[in-house]
A and B are shown apart, each in its own frame.
Chain A
């Protein structure tokens, strides 16, 4: 399984720096310009979009259901996006050079940062109903999932094995048939694994996006997130406890009823035709398979899907895009490059003129300090989390019994939205009069450190037994054994986990650097707090500036820290 996680990274890191810089530029310009547009849209929308939230535990099941449904809607949207975007990027050389770097940068933009823009945008689409707010929430979850999924799909399409490709061509499958009969099935294991990972990250965002206030606009969607928000305002620890219970159950049910069966199902799409390795297992899948009633009920759906995939829907062979036959390839290329260059220059010009007119030197200086502080926090916390969790993960991973027991727990903790736990932490900080500047920091990594743990566990449990035995038979001293054998063995897995953890920490900074408990407000200086405060004030231009800076820092960290580490891990310690 972890291989599926590693391959998209390899692809991501193969993007040339120039393309990446252009993409960063485009995204930053877009964020800032969207911010300036949002200011003009919001004025007529200063209405409240708040539902009354009841703190009674009995109301929680229905809130939880609403939250879960939002998650599901976003999942469907992400899947559609993935099919279209991934296919375009994989099939067209010209689109690929734009779409792939763009995707890489989009993955680095903090989802919670631009929530305020999307809220404004969707509210302006449906000004008098909750639909706009609902869409904004779904969109936030969508942006937390879609990029990763699209990348995985694109990567799979680019690596369809030659022989399967030749079969498809020699059998003269149409584009449609090839897509549904070969490409989608081939991409399925990677796609499902990545969907699962993205989902686990998005619980955090669904909770955060349900209750936000942008300037004068209050948004409270019925859901677990709003319930917790209301509990914070009412200083109700009991309600927070019930919310945590409800969320845990929801995640467990999602895992058991949706992803476990999907993973088992996706297993049949693996191309390696060897039996062996541990087959994933799902009680639900077993149940469904054994039931003849279910089989009878799904048979017509099965047949319809089969017909859907087999339909030819072929374009006539002679059909070509107008012009392609007459114009030489280099000419189209030149025109395409010119168009790209024009678009980038236009955005750059708009960006510079906007920034010049809106921000002064003091703005830039203060935000630079904030950015530095948060960067420092992220780095220190990742180092601390690594020091703690890598050894523990290795120990757990080397024991099959412990792995079986604790790996699901680590995955559950990674999925659990840590922002539900923030009130507890704040309560403790307030109660014991702790220094917020120091004690708010660990909240950033509260939810994402588990990615390090479970990736290291996965790495250690996949560690070849013979290498372990060799280390034993050479009677290496304990520290040498760790340094020479175990740590290099889990290193690629660790890097994968740490990349996810650090990306998550950046996102979390927006909700963890400024927190409240009833009327008590705690905050510490940093880029996250900067964005959160500007969001509360409805200062769109500065939100955009903060989000843009954060995106740039994340991209730079990926390039300067994670990419070299990843290349090193891949090259030095690959076992195949």
Chain B
């Protein structure tokens, strides 16, 4: 694990104090592979080492699909690591145990139970008397600001209120370590902000029995606002690529210069990673890369936005995301797709249309199709490969399964499926090949 880069304002003694706080959980050399179709195991995580200490909120930051949720499930005991071990309070973890609680991205409330009953669910394992369980559940409801909603059913609540129930259910059992899986990402911006602030108030005010928090997120700003340390998860298989300490006092202000500096630093690191991952040469059929979930209409729309003022063909991804109300990860995937097709160049956090990209943006529909077809054949070897196979076959048809298997030799099954979906969409647009779902076959256009 790289040593933490110490941000300005962080004194040596404070750093030392943080380093010496008692360890709550330690993940040692964690690796995880998903075995599929009986043969090849594709590693998602490899050699992940993390130490969680008392008194800190640790953020796990990475792009979607980077394995951070898997890592959280391993820490929670919900999934077993393929390699390495998890030590909780010095003991090897073999499944969910007392003192660990999880807050889920999708809230995961039981729809047939009221708020109070859902919170009491968190105490099922403790064999408390009904009266005691009720007392503690009401306490948690009170603490998290759900007063008055005890008898409501989840479907009557707004997203923010539902997630409050999720928090209350996790906190009611007085967990030592709270594991949060993108807890705010299913909420709208304002609701997320409120809930985040409320949680931090409880944390800073030491009103929670919880000693340590692991927060999985893809939102850089959120990580910077909440965490004491951020771990960047990246690569294939994913590992901790960087660690950034955030020694800023709470409450933090997103407009504060120090905050901004750290956000920028993480941003650059992530961008550098992204560029490094996508700019490796992808010629030759043996380098099969997953394709992002981006439709052609998004690509064309994005290039049109880029060519128009005020960008003039070149923009920071962050700016464009903010101005268009897009999530940064969506912009990532679009940018990555354009980079892959050589319609744009991705350097650091900025995207710049190539000459071809400019032509693409300004052309008529027919011209666009022609250009897209050229680039698809040239820069996405697997698309060219499908086209080639179809041409060689007498009936100009080939079953989907055939390509699926080829892709799965290199990619995870979910990635292979995604890649195939994207390929079908792009291939259809380019009129390079067609696909018929009823017979699950590709055919020549």
CA distance A105 to B104 in the complex (A): 41
When the two chains form the complex, which single residue of B73, B124, B173 contacts A173, counting CB atoms closer than 8 Å? B124
Determine if B111 and A270 form an interchain contact, defined as CB atoms under 8 angstroms apart: yes
Least CB distance, A262 to chain B, in whole angstroms: 14
When the two chains form the complex, which single residue of B110, B133, B153 contacts A164, counting CB atoms closer than 8 Å? B110
List CB contacts (< 8 Å) of B66-110 with chain A.
Answer: 73, 76-78, 95-98, 100-102, 104, 106, 108, 110
Given contacts A166-B78, A172-B98, A275-B155, contact A269 B111 (CB under 8 A): yes
Note all chain A residues with C-beta closer than 8 A to B154. Answer: 273
Note all chain A residues with C-beta closer than 8 A to B437. Answer: 571
Determine if B111 and A171 form an interchain contact, defined as CB atoms under 8 angstroms apart: no
Tell me the nearest residue of chain A to B153, going by C-beta. A268
Given contacts A163-B104, A170-B96, A170-B100, contact A269 B124 (CB under 8 A): no
Instruction: Tell me which of A15-23, A305-313, A336-344 binds B.
Output: A305-313
Least CB distance, A481 to chain B, in whole angstroms: 22
When the two chains form the complex, which single residue of A170, A188, A269 contacts B102, counting CB atoms closer than 8 Å? A170
CA distance A177 to B102 in the complex (A): 19
Note all chain B residues with C-beta closer than 8 A to A170. Answer: 76-78, 96, 100-102
Determine if B121 and A171 form an interchain contact, defined as CB atoms under 8 angstroms apart: yes
B235 at the interface (CB under 8 A from A): no
Given contacts A166-B108, A177-B124, A185-B112, contact A306 B130 (CB under 8 A): yes
A392 at the interface (CB under 8 A from B): no
Least CB distance, B160 to chain A, in whole angstroms: 14
Note all chain B residues with C-beta closer than 8 A to A167. Answer: 102, 104, 108, 110, 121
Name, among B98, B100, B154, B155, the residue most crowded by chain A CB atoms within 10 Å (CB to CB).
B155
Determine if B125 and A273 form an interchain contact, defined as CB atoms under 8 angstroms apart: no
Note all chain B residues with C-beta closer than 8 A to A269. Answer: 111-112
CA distance A572 to B437 in the complex (A): 9
List CB contacts (< 8 Å) of A158-195 with chain B.
Answer: 163-164, 166-167, 169-174, 177, 181-182, 185, 188
A271 at the interface (CB under 8 A from B): yes
Interface of A is mostly: helix
A360 at the interface (CB under 8 A from B): no
Least CB distance, B130 to chain A, in whole angstroms: 7
Note all chain B residues with C-beta closer than 8 A to A306. Answer: 130
Least CB distance, B7 to chain A, in whole angstroms: 34
Map CB proximity to A onto B37-67 as digits: 1 under 8 Å, 0 otherwise.
0000000000000000000000000000000
When the two chains form the complex, which single residue of A166, A173, A270, A310 contacts B104, counting CB atoms closer than 8 Å? A166
B127 at the interface (CB under 8 A from A): yes
Note all chain A residues with C-beta closer than 8 A to B73. Answer: 166
Note all chain B residues with C-beta closer than 8 A to A273. Answer: 111, 154-155
Determine if A169 and B78 form an interchain contact, defined as CB atoms under 8 angstroms apart: yes
Least CB distance, A294 to chain B, in whole angstroms: 18
Map CB proximity to B onto A268-312 as digits: 1 under 8 Å, 0 otherwise.
111101110000000000000000000000000001001100101
Note all chain A residues with C-beta closer than 8 A to B286. Answer: none
Note all chain A residues with C-beta closer than 8 A to B101. Answer: 170
Least CB distance, A438 to chain B, in whole angstroms: 41
Name, among B104, B111, B154, the residue most crowded by chain A CB atoms within 10 Å (CB to CB).
B111
Note all chain B residues with C-beta closer than 8 A to A181. Answer: 110, 113, 121, 124
Determine if B97 and A312 form an interchain contact, defined as CB atoms under 8 angstroms apart: no
CA distance A172 to B154 in the complex (A): 22
Tell me the nearest residue of chain A to B100, going by C-beta. A170
CA distance A275 to B121 in the complex (A): 24
Least CB distance, A273 to chain B, in whole angstroms: 5
Determine if B108 and A164 form an interchain contact, defined as CB atoms under 8 angstroms apart: yes
Map CB proximity to B onto A129-170 as digits: 1 under 8 Å, 0 otherwise.
000000000000000000000000000000000011011011
Tell me the nearest residue of chain B to A268, going by C-beta. B112
B122 at the interface (CB under 8 A from A): yes
Least CB distance, B74 to chain A, in whole angstroms: 12
Tell me the nearest residue of chain B to A311, going by C-beta. B127
List CB contacts (< 8 Å) of A242-271 with chain B.
Answer: 268-271
Least CB distance, A376 to chain B, in whole angstroms: 32
Note all chain B residues with C-beta closer than 8 A to A270. Answer: 111
CA distance A171 to B175 in the complex (A): 11
Note all chain A residues with C-beta closer than 8 A to B121. Answer: 167, 171, 173, 181
Determine if A163 and B108 form an interchain contact, defined as CB atoms under 8 angstroms apart: yes
Note all chain A residues with C-beta closer than 8 A to B95. Answer: 169
When the two chains form the complex, which single residue of B122, B130, B133, B156 contacts A171, counting CB atoms closer than 8 Å? B122
B12 at the interface (CB under 8 A from A): no
Tell me the nearest residue of chain A to B118, going by C-beta. A167
Note all chain A residues with C-beta closer than 8 A to B153. Answer: 268
Note all chain A residues with C-beta closer than 8 A to B104. Answer: 163, 166-167
B395 at the interface (CB under 8 A from A): no
CA distance A181 to B121 in the complex (A): 9
Determine if B96 and A172 form an interchain contact, defined as CB atoms under 8 angstroms apart: yes
Determine if B108 and A271 form an interchain contact, defined as CB atoms under 8 angstroms apart: no
Note all chain B residues with C-beta closer than 8 A to A164. Answer: 108, 110
Note all chain B residues with C-beta closer than 8 A to A182. Answer: 110
Determine if A307 and B130 form an interchain contact, defined as CB atoms under 8 angstroms apart: yes
Determine if B106 and A163 form an interchain contact, defined as CB atoms under 8 angstroms apart: yes
Note all chain B residues with C-beta closer than 8 A to A173. Answer: 121, 124-125
Note all chain B residues with C-beta closer than 8 A to A163. Answer: 104, 106, 108
Determine if A172 and B112 form an interchain contact, defined as CB atoms under 8 angstroms apart: no
Tell me the nearest residue of chain B to A275, going by C-beta. B155
List CB contacts (< 8 Å) of B140-166 with chain A.
Answer: 153-156
Determine if B124 and A310 form an interchain contact, defined as CB atoms under 8 angstroms apart: yes
B438 at the interface (CB under 8 A from A): yes
Note all chain A residues with C-beta closer than 8 A to B100. Answer: 170
Tell me the nearest residue of chain A to B104, going by C-beta. A163
Determine if B110 and A185 form an interchain contact, defined as CB atoms under 8 angstroms apart: yes
CA distance A188 to B437 in the complex (A): 34
CA distance A325 to B369 in the complex (A): 62
Report 13 cross-chain contacts, Cβ distance below 8 Å, ordered by A residue. Answer: A164-B110, A166-B78, A167-B104, A170-B78, A173-B125, A269-B111, A273-B155, A274-B155, A310-B124, A310-B133, A312-B124, A571-B437, A571-B438
List the interface of chain B (C-beta within 8 A of A). Answer: 73, 76-78, 95-98, 100-102, 104, 106, 108, 110-113, 120-122, 124-125, 127, 130, 133, 153-156, 169, 173, 437-438
Closest 10 CB pairs of A and B: A163-B108, A172-B125, A273-B155, A269-B112, A167-B108, A185-B112, A170-B102, A170-B96, A173-B124, A172-B96
Known: A163-B104, A170-B101. 18 other contacts (CB 8 A): A166-B78, A169-B78, A170-B78, A171-B173, A172-B97, A173-B125, A177-B124, A181-B110, A181-B124, A185-B110, A188-B112, A269-B112, A273-B155, A310-B130, A312-B125, A312-B127, A571-B437, A571-B438
